[in-house]
Amino acid sequence: MRRSGRPSGTLGAMVARIGWFLLLAVVVATDVVAAMNNKDSLTSTFRRSVAETGWRWPVLIFIVLLVAHLYMPPSLRRYDPLDRLYYRLNPAGAPPEGVGPIEYEPVPPPPPSTPPTPPPTAGPSG
């Protein structure tokens, strides 16, 4: 734990997501300014170079995988499509903890138990 009382790394994830939203805002703002000045916008450039060619589907699949990778919550990180693809294509690299396929460990049998001995009862004293 850090001095602020938060676990280490929790603020970093929040700042990273805010950074991606700020990047999106910059891209959209640049696109709007270009369209207002009667120049080619980023959208029309993208359509002309990608969407109207054979690259349409590979680029779409890449964008979907990238968005899934960037916004994968930590609880589902083992299902991250890009990490799984990377570790499948790079057999020399071992995936870190929590990444990759789920490997279940066998559950050991319970230890043998003996029945509890009854406590001595207080009988009539004589």
Give residue 59's pLDDT. 85
Give residue 118's pLDDT. 75
Rounded Cα gap, residues 3 and 14, in angstroms: 18
Number of neighbours of residue 80 by Cβ within 10 angstroms: 20
Give the residue extent of every domain in the chain: 10-53, 54-92
Give residue 98's pLDDT. 59
- The amino acid at residue 125 is S
Give residue 1's pLDDT. 45
Cα-based angle 76, 81, 87 (whole degrees, multiple of 5): 105
Rounded Cα gap, residues 101 and 84, in angstroms: 8
Give residue 2's pLDDT. 46
Segments of the chain scoring below 70 in pLDDT: 1-16, 91-104, 122-126
Give residue 15's pLDDT. 63
Give the predicted TM-score (pTM) of the model.
Answer: 0.43
Determine contact, residues 36/49, Cβ cutoff 8 Å.
no
